[in-house]
Structure formats: structure tokens, C-alpha cells
Amino acid sequence: MKNKIIAAALSAVISLGLMAGCASKKDDTVVRVGSLKGPTTIGIVNLMDKASKGEAKGKYEFAMSAAPDEITAKIVSGDLDIALVPANLASVLYNKTQGGVTAIDINTLGVLYCVTGDSSISSVKDLAGKKVITTGQGATPEYSLRYLLDQNGVTDCEIEFKSESTEVAAVLTEDPMQIAVLPQPFVTVACAQNEAIAPVFALEDEWQTLTNGLGMVTGVTIVRNDFLKDHKEAVKTFIEEHGESVVAANSDLDKTASLVVASEIIGKEPIAKKAIPLCNVVCMTGDSVKNNLAAYLEVLYNYDPKSVGGNLPGEDFYFKG
């Protein structure tokens, strides 16, 4: 899996270098970028580091948030130009802004796991009559979990939401018999804090079983169209540098782990080194965005239209380069 991720990201970098002509028209505009505390930020920490040293091709301001609604509000208000958000929220924002955002890349694939010390849990069907603690209400974690429960005929599973993954991990640390759905890297963090808990199944595997092998798309990068219209070269440069940052995240664990700890995403470097390869950070561009994201959103739409904002995005949602 790791080699496939690196290959996908490297392919993106090569194609983007050709597409952008390595930024044929330099745009010195400062791009305001928002990401979530977790895999989406892990994918750009190397770019953040380069930007802080004045070594990046573009100029950036980065803001990391703990909850998706913080980022979506800033996109709607115009306080962010580019945002790395849960896949379904990219579609919700497209509808909420009347087509005012464009998906420029996929930044994270399946990273959600069911974690517990309860040995009776090994599949979604085992969640019947249980309580599951998770984050991401209204975002990918909630709707992916609800879809899997529904398709497995589980109607009596209680879902309790926390605002941050660190809160969920803390609950598991105190009581390993609790059941949680967590994204990486917080799965690795929680398991390191309490050896009595472990990931018992990946939501990605359950999803593929139900969708004939269709993968989950966890994170998507979007740009405000008002910004894209006036600063297309700056956006292309960001995509190129995002791809390079992903390659670095997957190939230079020592440096990336240090940056992840410095960003306060994970507390200790040894744990970060274990978690990063499991985070499925990518930079998928071009036709791969539409082919994978559209299929994922269609599954959610058929389950519950409000999960994607009421309607599937139109062709203009997908960046043409």
C-alpha cells in the first residue's frame, strides 16, 4: 500500500510539473490554506516547513483546525482560499455556495478504523446493540459509518459524537471496552497509550465489500472559485507542491515525524513514525479525482442525499487544469 501511495503521489508531481510548466506565470499572491489536525495536515507538513523557511515556490499561510465545521465556515466566509476537507463536505460546500468551489485533488484515502478492546467485535454486524464513539458529525466519518450500518442491517447501534479525535482516544485509554471509530494517526496514538485496545476492522474493507471494490475517499482539497479565477497559477503551484510534500511524507519518515510532532498532531516521534505510513496520504489529480470522488459521492447520495448537500456536484466541480 505504501509503495502505491508514493507512486500515485510521484505520478501527480510529474504530471503537474508538465501541466503547470512549473508555474509558467509566477503568482506571488499569499494563498491561505486550511487543513484538519490529522492526515490532511500530515500530507502538507513538508510544504509548511518549506514555506516557513522561504523555500517554497508559492507563498502560503497555513491554518490547522480540529473540527471540519471550522474550515467550512472559513471557506464560505472567504477567509480561506484552499482547504483540505472531508470528501462529503467538499460536495456539501459546492451545493452551499452554488458551485462556488472546485475539487483540485484527493488528499487522503481510507483511514477509518473501528478500535476497541472488546473481543466480540470484528465486523460492522457486531456493532448491533452497541454504542460507538466517533467524531466528524455531518462529515465523512458519520456518513460512512451510517452507510455501513444500514447496509449490514444494523439498526440499533448508538453513535455518540465527540468534537475531536483526541477526545475519543482519551475515552478508549480510560475504558478499553468502549468502541470507537477513529482515523489514523489517532488509531496508532490510542493503541500506544493502552495496549488493551486494537483496530478490529477497517471501514475501508467493509466499504469495498459492499461496493464491489470501490475505495473510500476520505479527504479532498478544494479551492474557492473566486480565488481560482484570479490566481490559477498560484493554485497550480500549490497542487504541485502538495504532491511533492506527499512524496516527502511517505519517503522521509524521520523528517516528517519530527514535523508532525512540532505541529502537535502527534506527541512523540516513534508513534508518528508508526502512524504516518498508515495514513494513506496522497495527491491524486486529474481524471483520478473525478473517477474516484464521483463514485464515492454517488454511493453516499444514493444512501442519503443530504450527506453530499442534496445534489451531486456537476462537471464544473472537478478541476480541469
Per-residue burial over 93-123, b if 16 or more Cβ lie within 10 Å, else e, is: bbbbbeebbbbbbbbbbbbbbbbbbeeebee
- Rg for the chain (alpha carbons), in Å? 19
Q: Closest Cα partner for 314 from 106, 83, 98?
A: 98
Spell out the alpha helix ranges (H) of 78-215. Answer: 87-96, 140-151, 165-174, 186-193, 203-210
The CA distances from residue 320 to 44, 140, 292, in Å, are 22, 25, 15
Q: In DSSP terms, which residues pair with 309 in a beta bridge?
A: none
Residue 45 CB neighbours (<10 A): 27
Dihedral in degrees, nearest 10, Cα atoms 170, 174, 175, 176: 70
Per-residue pLDDT of the chain (321 residues; tens, 9 = 90+): 444 444 444 444 444 443 444 444 677 899 999 999 999 999 999 999 999 999 999 999 999 998 888 999 999 999 999 999 999 999 999 999 999 999 999 999 998 999 999 999 999 999 999 999 998 888 888 999 999 999 999 999 999 999 888 899 889 988 999 999 999 999 998 999 899 999 999 999 999 999 888 889 999 999 999 999 999 999 999 999 999 999 999 999 999 999 999 999 999 999 999 999 999 999 999 999 999 999 999 999 999 999 999 999 999 999 987
Nearest-angstrom CA–CA distance, 139 and 205: 19
Phi, psi of 133 (to 5 degrees): -100, 135
Nearest-angstrom CA–CA distance, 60 and 40: 16
Q: Which residues touch 7 (CB under 8 Å, ≥6 apart)?
A: none
Q: Closest Cα partner for 16 from 264, 247, 297?
A: 247
The confidence score (pLDDT) of residue 25 equals 61
Q: Which three cell numbers stand for residue 174?
A: 480510560
Q: CB-side exposure of 196: number of CA atoms within 13 Å?
A: 12
Q: Which three cell numbers stand for residue 112?
A: 477509518
In single-letter form, the type of residue at position 279 comes to C
